[in-house]
Amino acid sequence: MAQEAKARLHRWESMPKERLSEKLDRRIITAERMMITHVYLKKGCVVPRHQHENEQITYVLEGALRFRLGAEGAQQVDVRAGEVLTIPSNLPHSAEALEDTLDVDIFDPPRRDWLDGTDQYLRQT
C-alpha cells in the first residue's frame, strides 16, 4: 500500500533568512507543486525586469511595491499593504520598493532558480 503523504507545519521565524543583497532578503517554504516566500525589501530596492514560466501571486503585508509590467514596462501598478497582484506566466516585470516592504510571493510551480541559487538577477540589486 502507498505511504500517505504527511502535512508539515512551518513557522516563518524558524525558517532561515537568505540575504541576497544589502536591500533584499527572503525566506522560502516549498511543497511539491507550489512555493511560498516572504520577501523583505528595503526602500529603494529594485528587482530588475525578468520573466519566468511560473505564475506568481504577490501579496504585500507591509509597505509598497511599484511594479512595471510588460516588455517595455509600460504598465505601472503600485501594490500597497493588503493588496494582491497576480502576474501571469512569462509576463516581464520589475519591482521597486517605495518603502520598507514585506511581501508574500506564491509561485506555481516552485522557482527552480530560487532553489538552486541561479537567480543572479536578484543578487545584484
Residue 93 lies in a domain: yes
Residue 59 lies in a domain: yes
CATH value at residue 74: 2.60.120.10
Residue 123 sits at φ, ψ, to 5 deg, of -85, 0
**Contact assessment for residue 54 and residue 108, using Cβ atoms and an 8 Å cutoff:** yes
Cell of 86: 497576480
**Where do runs of H (alpha helix) occur along the chain?**
112-116, 120-123
Count of structural domains within the chain: 1
pLDDT of residue 106: 98
**Contact assessment for residue 66 and residue 98, using Cβ atoms and an 8 Å cutoff:** yes
pLDDT of residue 5: 86
Residue range(s) defining the domain that contains residue 68: 28-123
Residue 23 lies in a domain: no
Residue 20 lies in a domain: no
Mean pLDDT, residues 24-48:
97
> What confidence tens digit (pLDDT) does each residue in 46-105 have?
999 999 999 999 999 999 999 999 999 899 999 999 999 999 999 999 999 999 999 999
pLDDT of residue 82: 98
Global pTM reads 0.92
pLDDT of residue 125: 61
Residue 77 lies in a domain: yes
Residue 15 lies in a domain: no
